[in-house]
Amino acid sequence: MTGITLTKTRIRAGVWEGLVTGAPQRPALEVLHLEAPVPNVTLAEVPGRAGEWALRVPVPVAALTEGVQTFLIRDAASGERLAHFTIITGVAMEDDLRAEIDLLRAELDMLKRAFRRHCLETAGPAAP
């Protein structure tokens, strides 16, 4: 474990920003999307705050495609995952999730009915 912590601060104008702490020297970080390095990532020391670094990850325009896109941020030296962020575009995920939950509820109700029926059919005579 490297002792490095990465905290998201914001995403604005297509740039994900975070604060790296616990690194007395400039850490070697890499940002991957679809297992390929993301270009133009910057890491700058925060003035007046030793061991703190500002990370800026510009989201590539090519990554803004239909569906879910996940970016992985990790320590290049150890391979330890520090953070990730996800961008969802073009898909009404809320509707998809609600439909999936409705389907799961219906299946659960069916299983409950089948289990109750099984219990009634296999139950022995009631004890006096």
Same domain, 84 and 31: yes
Same domain, 39 and 78: yes
Give the model confidence (pLDDT) of 45-83 as tens digits. Answer: 999 998 899 999 999 999 998 888 899 999 998 888 999
Token digits of residue 42: 């910057």
CB 52 within 8 A of CB 5: no
What pLDDT sits at residue 103? Answer: 77
Same domain, 97 and 79: no
What pLDDT sits at residue 127? Answer: 61
pTM for the whole structure? 0.69
Same domain, 111 and 61: no
Instruction: Tell me what the mean pLDDT of segment 30-58 comes to.
Output: 94
Give the model confidence (pLDDT) of 83-124 as tens digits. Answer: 999 888 876 666 677 777 877 888 898 899 889 999 999 987
CATH code at position 33: 2.60.40.10
The band of 1, judged by pLDDT with boundaries at 50, 70 and 90, is very low
Q: Cα separation of 121 and 125, whole Å?
A: 11
Same domain, 81 and 40: yes
Count of structural domains within the chain: 2
Same domain, 55 and 82: yes
- Does a structural domain hold residue 68? yes
What pLDDT sits at residue 110? Answer: 84
Structural domain boundaries, residue 54:
5-89
Same domain, 18 and 68: yes
Same domain, 44 and 26: yes
CB 118 within 8 A of CB 110: no
Instruction: Tell me what the mean pLDDT of segment 18-43 comes to.
Output: 94
Token digits of residue 26: 């400039």
Q: Which of 55, 94, 48 is nearest to 71 (CA)?
A: 55
Residue 28 has pLDDT above 80, yes or no: yes
The band of 2, judged by pLDDT with boundaries at 50, 70 and 90, is low
- Does a structural domain hold residue 62? yes
- Does a structural domain hold residue 127? no
Q: Cα separation of 2 and 14, whole Å?
A: 29
Same domain, 49 and 72: yes
Q: Cα separation of 29 and 24, whole Å?
A: 14
| Number of residues that make up the chain | 128
Q: Cα separation of 13 and 34, whole Å?
A: 22
